[in-house]
Amino acid sequence: MKRRRGYRRGYPVAILAGLEDDRAVLWKVFSNVVKPEKTVWLDGIRNDPKAVYNFHESIVNALRPTLKEGVRSVILASPARTNYAQGFIDHIHGHHAWLVQGPNKATISEITGSGGTLPEVAAMTRTPMFGRLICETTSEETEDLVDMLEKHLNSSNQDKVVLYSLMEIEDLILGPQRPSRFTAEYLMLTDEFLSNSHEKNRIHRLMQIATNRNVKTRIVDAESTAGLRLTQLGGMVCLAHLR
């Protein structure tokens, strides 16, 4: 019996937030499938500013865990003739500028359509528009990843290092957390590196523990801008800084 390669769901590429009249449904978009993540309910009505403010705050809080994992592409879906997506974007700019500024900013884009149920999301993700939006959004995100990587590579600051080998990265992330040690900040690898590796179990274990220890992890398309640069460096890198 032929063994399947990799995870059936693939790797995470984006977060889809379906903004409806009375709720926001968050979905994690993988390279092969879309999985429901969380539903946030509006406690009140849309024309109550306080209720909408609290609703938007709840959505931001619901996004945080996936953003902390390293997925920085966010797609907002809202029905036609509504301003739900723009209202949420305005809230972010007004109260959570960290989401759209700085080296760890998220890339946020909009699409018209309902994303409140699985059939609606399934139909949306099959459209050419959604495919183009995923490509554009993740492309912008990977350019930010490349920029972050190059800054580490070119830094004269000895408090920053880039590790390339699985053994070195395991030693850093799995080893004891001492004050004098470097701390892993970002673990990046290409889908091709993972697919072709003879150490898949080791890598999956490393990624899981890295996530548990608040290290941002990201699998990127080997053909993307970030993927091509990672391939030049061996396919996997870990960015770290001194405590």
Kindly provide the residue ranges of all beta strands, DSSP E only, lying in the chain, ordered along the sequence: 12-19, 23-30, 34-41, 73-78, 107-112, 160-163, 182-190, 216-220, 236-242
Q: Beta partners for 218? A: 188
The residue with tokens 């139909």 is 123
| Phi then psi dihedrals of residue 52, to 5 deg | -70, -40
Structural domains in the chain, sorted by start? 12-140 (3.30.420.60), 155-242 (3.30.1330.30)
Residue 108 has pLDDT above 80, yes or no: yes
| Rounded average pLDDT over 112-137 | 91
Element containing residue 205 per DSSP (H, E): helix 200-212
Residue 40 has pLDDT above 50, yes or no: yes
Strand 107-112 with 160-163, pairing: unpaired
| Rounded average pLDDT over 144-157 | 84
pLDDT of residue 2: 39
Under DSSP, the state recorded for 32 is: S
Greatest C-alpha distance within the chain: 59
Least Cα distance to 229 among 169, 157, 153, 165 occurs for: 153
Residue 6 has pLDDT above 50, yes or no: no
pTM for this entry: 0.76
| Phi then psi dihedrals of residue 38, to 5 deg | -165, 150
| Rounded average pLDDT over 9-35 | 92
Highest mean pLDDT among 38-42, 187-191, 237-241: 38-42
